[in-house]
Structure 1
C-alpha cells in the first residue's frame, strides 16, 4: 500500500494505481489543472483539504470504493494557512476534502463564451462509511449515490451555496435506508440525531437535491432538525410541508441568491425561532446581507401554520425579497429583526390578538406601546403618512423601498430615525419633522430621487449620521460612481431663529447640506467689527458663515457682543455661523495671553502634553476634533485613546497637509495609531471617531513616542 502525498505539477486526468490507499491532507490544494481523478484500488481515506479548491475536476471515480472522505479540521487549516502565508486563511477553516472543488467557470477558448461550470455528473461513493463536515461543500454534483455502508455524514457535506445549482438526485445503493440514514425522495435524513419530540429522539434532514423534479415535498414525519441551506436555491419545488416537532429553522435554510421556485410553505405549530444564524457557521451572509430562513425566495407568497403558532423569534431578513403581500404576526412573537418583511409586494401587516410586544396600525407595525415604528409595508397604497405623536423612534431598515409614499410627516416626539430607515423610498417628495429629532442615521433617506423638500420645525438641528459619501449620505438621491460623491437634490427649510444652528451642524456634515438650506426668507444685517475701539470691517450679510479673522496683541479669543476692554465684561461669545434678526450688530474682537483650545478648528486645536498626560475629550460621532503636539524626540508616535474598545469605533485622521489615513482598530484598550515623527517638529492632526451606535463618546487622548 502507499500514501499519496501530492504533486504541485499534477494536471489533466490523474489515475492512481491500486497501491494508493490514502491521499494526504492538502496534497493537491488549489490545483487548477486537474480535470479528473480515478482511483484503481480501495481508498481508506481522502484526508481533509486533499483536493481543496480544485475547481475544474469533472470526473471522480472510485473503482473499488472509498471508506472515508474527510471533513473539516479547522485547527490544521489555520496552521496550514499560516505556514504557507495564505492571506485568505479563513477559508482553510472549512477544509473538507473537496471543499469548493468541481465548480469552476468554463469558457470557450476561441469565442470566450461561457460554458457554465465544472460539474460532477455522477458521483458514486461505493463502500463509504464516513463523509466529513463540508467534505463536498460548494461542489457541483448532479447525481449522487451513497452506499448503504454509510455510518456518518457531516454538517454541510453536500451543501452548495456556490456557483451552480444542479443537484438533481440523491439515493442509496442497495436500499433506501440503513440503521443510520434514510436516503430517498432526493433527500438525506439522519436517524435519531435530532432534538427530542414527544419523548423520542428526532431525525435530522441534512440536504434536499435542489434540482429534483418534484414540485411538492412533505418533510418526513419525525424530522426535528433541518440543516442550514438544506433547501437553498430550489429550482422546481413549489410547496413544502414541515412536520410537528421542529422548533428552529436556521439562517439560509430556504434562501436563494439566484432565485427559488418555492411558493408556499406550511410551518409546524411547534416552531419557535426563524433565525438569521446557523448552529455551525454563525451569522449567515448572502450577497453581503444577513441571511434569513427565506431570504431571496422571490416567489414565496403563502406562509401558514399547521395549528396555533408557538413562534417567538423572527430574525433579520427572514422574508427579505419574498412575494408576501400580507402577514399576520402570531400572538406568541416577542422579537422581530431588521428587514424581516422587506420586499416589493408587502401591502399590510397585522398582529394576532393577545400579542404583548407588537401592534399594527393601518397595516404598519409598531411596538405595543406605539413608541417604535418597526415596519412600514413597501406597497402600502397611501401617498401620505403621518407618524403618530407618541412614536419616539423609527427603526433602521423599517420603511425601505416604499412605492407610493410621497408625503411623510414625522411626529414631534420622534428622536431617532435609524440607519437606512427610508432607503430607496422612490416616490417620496416631501418630509416634515414636527419636533426636535436628535439623530438621523446614515442612509436614512438615501435613494429617494424625487425628494425635493425637507422641512424641520424643531429649533435644534439633528445629528446626521454616516458621511456624505456614496450610499451613506442621509438625504442624497444617488452618488457619482466615479468619485463616490453623493448627489443631494433636495432643499432644507428650517426655523428662522435656528438657521445658524442648522447651518453649522449641516456644514460639519457636508458643505453641500449647509448650502441646501433655504435662506430666501431671512433679512440682511449690517455688521460692524471693532478692535480696541476702532472699526476694522463693515459689511452686510444675512448669515455670517465663517468666523472673520483678526490680528492683534496676544492670542485671538473670538468675537463678542460687548466691549469688555474697560470693565472685563465681554458678554456672550459669538459662535459661527452667526445669524441675528437685528438690522445692525456690532461685534468686538477680544485678545488674551492664552490660546483658545476647544478643538473646533485649526488655531483652536487642543495641544497635547509632551510628557504624555491625557486630555479628556468628548468626540461627536463623525465630527473632527483638532489637535497639535510637538515631538520631544524622533520615533514612532502612538496616539492613545483610553476609554474606547474596538467594537465601538474606527478612526479617521488627517494631518494638516490633508493626507488622509483610515485605520480600522482591532486592538485592546487603549487604542493607538502609529506615525513616524521627527524631534522638535509640531504636528497637527484632526481625528474623527465613527461610533457604531450613539452620538457622543468621552475618552482620554494622549501621545507617546516609542
Structure 2
C-alpha cells in the first residue's frame, strides 16, 4: 500500500510539471530558494541538536519536560512560525542555531537570555521579524543572510536597521551575500561598531560597517582598522594635474566635473558622490576600481577621442543606475563588473577593443561596434546585451568571436518592412532571412500560424509590430500533436484510476483516501483536457515572449483570446492596441512588461487570468471592462505605481493576491456584485503599507478572508445604514463613512 501511494504521488508530481499547456489558465508558482553551501560549525557539549522533519512538528520532537533544561539548541530540517513560537517557551536558551533549517516564520519571540543567534541561510527577513530580533538585546553573535531579491523588476534591500539596537553585538557572520556586499542598509546602523565581521562568501564589501577585524571565507584577516587608515580611506588619485597635482582626495560638490588633463582616476575617488556628468581627458589611461562606484546621480559620461589605451577596472562604475548611454572613443580594456548594476540602453564602441570581459556590463539593450574587436571574452555572448549592431559585411567575424548570430544586426540593412502573407505558414517567402535581425518596424497583412510568429520572434531589433490586418490561428500540425498528447495522458489517468479502484476493493486504503485521490485525479485530468481553440483568431502562447526592444504592438482586429505568456517579459513594451472583440486574456500574458504604463481594455473582455499583468511595475492606469466576469489570482501583483482601481459590476470575487504589493494604491472601488475578497490583498511592499479609501457599493459586506484587505486601515465609504454590518466584518481598523 505504501509503495502504491509513493508511486502515485511521484506520478502526480511529474504530471503537474508536464501540464504547462497551451489552453490551461493555471500557473504553478515556485519562489526562488537561495541556499549557501558553507556551514557554520558550533562545537559544544551542552548543545542539543535535533532534526525537525516537518514544519510545525518541533513540539513532538522536543518534549515539554525538556524546555526548561535546554540552554543551547541547534535545529536542522524544516521550521515554521509554530516551531519558533515553541522555541520561545524555552526560557534559558543562550544559543540558537537555525542555520541548517529551511522554511519561513512570521514572528520571533522575546528571548532575554539569547546571546548567539544563527539564522537560516536562505531566509529573507520580514521587517517585523527583524524588529523582534532587535529586541533580544543580549545578542552578542549574529549570523545573518544579507541579500537582495528581485521582485517586480526592482531590488529589495534590507533597510530596517533594527539590528542597530543590539547594544552587545560584537560579532557578525555573513552567511550569504548576493547583493553588492554588506552595505549601509543591511539591517545594521552605518556607524555601528563591532569587533569582528566574518564572511562565509567571496564578497567582502563592508561599506557602512566599522569593524575592527574583517575575516574572509578562508579565515584570513583582510583588514586591520586604525584611525589613520580610516581617515585616509579614499586616498589613491595618482595624477590630477588640473587640480594642482594634489595627491589626496578632493571633495567635489559640483554636479558637472571636467578632468581635462587627468590620466588616472584613483581607487574609490568619486565613490558615493552626487555628480551628474563627467568629461574625461583625451589622455585618460586608467579608471581604477570603485572610482565612480554608487554615483547614483551620474547620468552622462563623455570620453574625448584619444590615442591612449583606456583601462577600466572592475566596479569602476558599479551601481550608476541613471547611466543610460556610453560612447567609448578610446581603445579600451574593460574588466569584470566595471558597469555592474547599470541598466544601459546604448553602448557604442568607436575605436578598437583590446579586451572585453563577459561580465563587464550588467545589462545593455543595444551595443554598437564600429570596428572589429581584437578580443571578446568567449562567454560574452551569454551576458550583457540584447542587440549587437556591427559594420556591414562583418556578421561572420563577430560570430567567430562568440556572439550569438540571432542578436547581430548589420548596420545599413533595411529597417522598415510592410509585407503580405497570403498563405499561413509561409512568412519567409515575404520576410527574407537577411532582414530578420535588422528590421525595426514590421507591418503584416494576411494569414499566419504560430510557426510564423516563431519567425517574427527572431526579429530581435523589432520595435513596432502591426498585426491589425492579420488572422492568426494554430496550425493543424500543432492541434494534432496536442490531441495526441491529451489522449496519452488520458490513458495514464485511466491506469491510475484502475489502480485506485483495486486498492480500495482490497481495502488497502480508506473511503476518505479513495475519494480524495479520485477527486484529485479528476481535477488533474480536467486541467490537461484538450480544448478546441477559439474559432476566431488568437494570439498563441509565448508568441512574443521576451522580445527585448518591442515597444508598440497592434493586435489583430478579430483576435478573441491572448494565450498564456504571449508578451511576458517584453520589458520595453509601452503601447498595446487591443482588438474590439477580445474576450479572454490568459495567465501571465503581460507579466513583467516593466515599461507598460497604461492599459485600456475593450468592453468585450470577460476573463483576465492569473498574473496577467503581474510585475508591470510602471503601470499607472488600467480600465477594467464592464463585461468582466472573472479575474485570476495575483492579476496585478506588484504593480507598484498603480494608485487606484475600479472593479466593475458583475464581478463576483476579487481573488487571492489580486492587488498584492500595489503599495501605492489608495483608492479601491468594490461593486455590489462582489461577495468575496480573497487573502493576500494587503498591498504591502517592504516597509511601505498604505492606507486607502475603500468604496463599497453594497449594503451587505463581502466576505474578506483573513482581513488582509483592510489590514493597514483607511476610510471605508459604505451605503447609509450599513455601518453595523461592515463593523462586524472589519472591526475598528478603519474609519467608516456612510454615503
Instruction: Identify, as 1 or 2, the structure richer in helix.
Output: 2
What TM-score, normalized by structure 2, do the two folds share?
0.35
The structure whose residues are more often strand, as a share, is 1
Of structures 1 and 2, the one scoring higher in RCO (CA 8 A, sep 6+) is 2
TM-score by length of 1: 0.36
